[in-house]
Chain A
Amino acid sequence: MTRVEFVGLFLSTLARLITGAQGHWYGCPPKAEQRIYFANHQSHFDWVLIWASLPRELRAQTRPIAARDYWTNGRFKHWLTREVFNAVYVSRVRTDDEDPLEPLAEALRNGDSLVIFPEGTRGNKGDPQAFKAGLFHLAEQFPEVQLIPTWIDNVQRVMPKGEVVPVPILCSVTFGAPIQVEAGEDKRAFLGRARDAVIALQTVDA
């Protein structure tokens, strides 16, 4: 077992021990298809939780988005996001000649799956904030990629903003049925529908 595999196993075991990290697949089976999972964002722990709740064979192809300036300064942070999580780096500073979505589009062209948090920032509680437009543009550019709404429950209790040590509380990740851009649907209508699809997962029953 290499060091990368070991750290990966260690982190997913830790996440499972603390949160249970249960994946509930309601709208779609856990299959190795190309997908974009879009989820509500409440805590730094969100990505690890989704990652740990995926079956192990899907983890390698499912990549998170990381801010380049934060996650590449410091050797350990860079190593962790690059080697273990295989993150897609995006820059937060906008330059005129560069499309901020380009690294994501490149990853999708390579056949990888992505996890994105379309709210852009962590919400404090209750319903997610309005979604940013990036999801719509990716959906238009890659109509063959499945868009899976994902609801992460309870994670804000595990590690509230400003705390560093997580408290053991069971969390669940619910995956819904795939959606896509309908013919003639505009950006606003689609983003609203995507957000509703995520919120609707809050109350699904077994």
Chain B
Amino acid sequence: MGALRNLTVTQQIGLLFVIIFGVLTLATIASFLRSLGQLTSEQASLHERLKRDLRAVWIGTVLFWVSWVLGAFVATLLFAVVSFLAFREFITLTHTRRGDHRALLAAFFLVLPIQYSLAGGRAFDLFSVFIPVYAFAALPILAALGNDPTRFLERTSKIQWGTMVCVYGMSHAPALLLLDFKGYEKRGAFLVLYLVLVVACAQIAQEIASRRLRRRPVARHISRSFSWRAWGIGVLTGALVGGLLYWVTPFKAPQAVLIGAIAAGCGTLGELVMKALKRDAGVRRWGNRASVTGAVGLLDRVAPLCFAAPVFFHSVRWYFGA
């Protein structure tokens, strides 16, 4: 694998895309062949979920490819749009009131664009504190000026939480693109790919493991499938994938394994948190048909990334002092 590291950037990209699109094509063909055979209803539902995950990986990979081809500016814009759509879905599911109107406008049309401009302008110091410090203070002020005390704390905390997850969390993906290490310039896109792949693989592995193992669920009121062992398998898979990809990162192999495990652990636990949120909102699945409001199901796709990206970003930055 050390030889792979010494290839030029273009060669590495070519190799990566051949590998990734090859594996994805194989997986899609396998899943299609499987759908031709007879399936029990349980197998069919598992198959349906795997198909959804597979589609998410396809979309993620194509997004990555587009952002690689078109450069950092377009990539930042692309992530900003995804972030906007996810936040829109989040706000749809929470009960805001008239008095929140101004706070919501500020969150959508000021906080979100500013956060992504900070990422695009590489102002990482302000980028890290803008939402947790400044937006944290500003949003409840606007809500209070809305002159409505009914369930005030509940409403403002929901808006703040949504901003943190959908805007702050998500904005760390393009920030990774723009992060410059010594001797690793212009390769930030690989870090995003590394993160997305590790988290997606961990998620799929956990899904399969939880079906096979049938362990006692840890939190049965939130998720009937989440068990520590399945989670552990997900993390191990993430670590393995991270290790295999070490040659595209600035890390040494053991570091790549460790960081892969951290990202995978955060991502899969983030998914659990989103499940709790779904239960709270009374939605069982955020598919297109689940509710009359028709939330499009983007949020549970990006949630693992939203949770993993900030942890990943800050641990990398702290460790390398970039």
A residues sitting closer than 8 Å to B (CB atoms) are 20, 22, 24, 153-154, 157, 160, 163, 165, 167-172, 174, 202-206
Contacts and interface: CB of A to CB of B under 8 A. Distances in A.
B92 interface: yes
B294 A172 contact: yes
B41 interface: no
B101 A20 contact: no
Contacts of A172: 292-294
Contacts, number: 47
A170 B293 CA distance: 6
Interface residues of B, number: 20
B91 A22 contact: no
B292 A153 contact: yes
Contact of B292 (A167, A168, A204): A204
A205 B88 CA distance: 22
Contacts of B126: none
B92 A170 contact: yes
B296 A20 contact: yes
A44 B289 CA distance: 27
B43 to A, nearest CB: 23
A168 B296 contact: no
A41 to B, nearest CB: 18
Interface in B71-91: 84, 87-89, 91
A168 B108 contact: yes
Given A20-B296, A160-B98, A160-B101, A170 B88 contact: yes
Contacts of A205: 292
A206 B290 CA distance: 7
Contact of A153 (B87, B88, B108, B293): B293
A172 B89 CA distance: 13
